[in-house]
Structure 1
């Protein structure tokens, strides 16, 4: 599918694919078929990278200039709120004409940005300004995701350290906490990887804008984008550190609860060991045992067992083990 946008009075409007190509400032290709790719390549005189080429991790494959046209690929997350978030490449193609974006998934910014650009004036007069506005929307979306991750980390921290504090006899189920930590760790890593690629893209974009003679008007916006991406990358790294601490704390709390259970079982075994020994002795039924024929033999053995239990409990209590 190809979505085509034109700039009208500072606003971005979607137009028919067959409209005048001179009005177009943005071609957005979403999972295009081969026929659509060939038609666009013929009309613009360029060759778009394949999906396999977009997935390559070398900087030379993600950021390069060919025949005076810049090809820039960044990793963008999508479906982050679902149980199966994805991180996939998006290629931005910028020359002296319109911007071309090629993608095979749907990051949220690609849906929200055209809607906002239709209503608000976003200075989308050409391909370069559309690219900067789109990258700004992408960075804003990543910032929102980081804020949401931070709130979820705080919620999980309360679950680990505060829940069940008033009822020490009950064991807290940490399996959901571990699942939440694992999911947040995956999402934060995706966001961090995405921000790193955007930071590299903005660094590469400066000389590209110089080539087209529009760096003076776009340089402040580009610097702001690069600065925001850098600060968000540091924030994502700090969030990853919090998640690592939270994971260690959760495993530590699980270990403490397991040790408490083992301690209770060990004390119970130690408490009932003396009466078991006494019962075993008087259960041997040797003929020479005088207590077998004594009328006070049974109460004596029961009293010894009860006394041994109380003595053991007193000993553990005096040592602070209970």
Structure 2
């Protein structure tokens, strides 16, 4: 599908037919394009459009390059970011003179919100260059919102680990399993965001080189520098969140070990406490003819009391030594 946009009064306007408005269109957005649509855009822009296989190449030379005077820039962007399992896919930006082409195979939120906003208010999008910068700014703003939400979720996980109100061991055990799953999902999200930000960081550096000529206005160069600084700060923040996630993972595993050690400790103490009564019961369970307590009226209560005392004394001794 081709989404074509023209500029009217500093605002973008969507047009149905690229060929009919080919001289006025400055942005063509290709979403899962067919061969015919790729050929139409290539004829319009004058350079070849990269295929999906070429977009997925990980080499820098395959993602950021200049060909026939056009700048090709590919970044990995997330879609379906309302949950913790975003869809990651490359998006290619082709800047050829005053025209911009974007090629994508998924739906990042910025590609929906930015055209709607640019159609309603004046955003200064008068050329392919300014549209590209504004679109990248919208993408970075969206990534910032995702990172802020992830940070709040990580704070909730931290609260659940260190300030749990549950007293039953079985309930805490189930909670820790859920927390481990949440930590795993947050780590996957942070890794995806870091991958996207690293690609945007490289793209902004390449774009800064492309716009560093005297022909480019100071405003555009300043916006590109600001974009690069924003991407760098978000990358640092995601790195911090990843470190916090690693800490929470270690803390959760430590809490699980403490729970397990506490349970084993209880069984160990119970075994030691009941060992003396078992010894007493074993002694009085022997079948000897000469046993003074056999003829004694208080022999049975005496044996029970002796077993009880032999259980209490080790317990009190462990308590006094601080082993319990």
Fold in common (TM above 0.5): yes
Tell me the secondary structure at the aligned position of residue 20 of structure 1. coil
Other-structure match for 1:147: 148
**Aligned residues of 1:37 and 1:48 also touching (Cα < 8 A):** yes
Q: CA RMSD in A?
A: 1.8
Whether the aligned pair in 1 keeps the contact of 2:6 and 2:26 (CA below 8 Å) is yes
Q: What TM-score, normalized to structure 1?
A: 0.94
2: CA distance, partners of 1:123 / 1:134? 12
Specify the SS of the correspondent of 1:234: helix
Tell me what 1:308 maps to: 310
Verify the 8 A CA contact 1:164 1:170 in the aligned structure 2.
Answer: no
Q: How does 1:19-168 map to 2 (within 5 A)?
A: 19-164=20-165, 167=167
- Deviation of residue 80 (structure 1)? 2.0
Match of 1:209 in 2: 211
Aligned to 1:246: 248
- How far residue 294 of structure 1 moved from its aligned partner, in angstroms, is 3.5
Mean Cα displacement is larger for which, 285-294 or 45-54?
A: 285-294
Question: 2:201·2:232 contact (CA, 8 Å) conserved in 1?
Answer: yes
Contact 2:110-2:135 within 8 A present in 1 as well: yes
1:109 CA drift (Å): 0.7
Contact 2:75/2:199 (<8 A) preserved: yes
Pair 1:206–1:59, CA change in 2 (3 A): same
Once the 2 structures are TM-superposed, how far is the Cα of residue 207 of structure 1 from its aligned partner?
2.8
Equivalents in 1 of 2:210, 2:23: separation in Å?
A: 22
2:17 corresponds to 1:4: no
Residues 279-303 of structure 1 show CA distances to partners (whole Å, capped at 9, x for unaligned) of 1222232334443343333222211
Distance in 2 (CA, whole Å) between partners of 1:162 and 1:317 is: 27
SS of equivalent residue, structure 1 residue 82 = coil
Counterparts of 1:210 and 1:188 in 2: how far apart (Å)?
Answer: 32
Report how many aligned residue pairs link the two structures.
321
The 8 Å contact of residues 10 and 122 in structure 1, kept in 2 or not, is answered as yes
Q: Give the counterpart of 1:268 among 270, 277, 282.
A: 270
Contact 1:96 1:212 in 2 (8 A): no
Deviation at 1:215, TM superposition (A): 4.7
Give 1:199 deviation, angstroms: 1.2
What is the distance in 1 between the residues matched to 2:2 and 2:294?
99
Give the TM-score of the pair, scaled to structure 2.
Answer: 0.93
CA deviation after TM superposition for structure 1 residue 208, in Å: 2.1
Task: State the Cα deviation string for residues 174-220 of structure 1 (Å, max 9, x = none).
Answer: 11211111111111121122111111111111232346932534101
Q: Do the aligned partners of 2:64 and 2:72 also contact (CA within 8 Å) in 1?
A: yes
Contact 1:56/1:62 (<8 A) preserved: yes
Structure 1 Cα separation of the partners of residues 114 and 91 of structure 2: 15
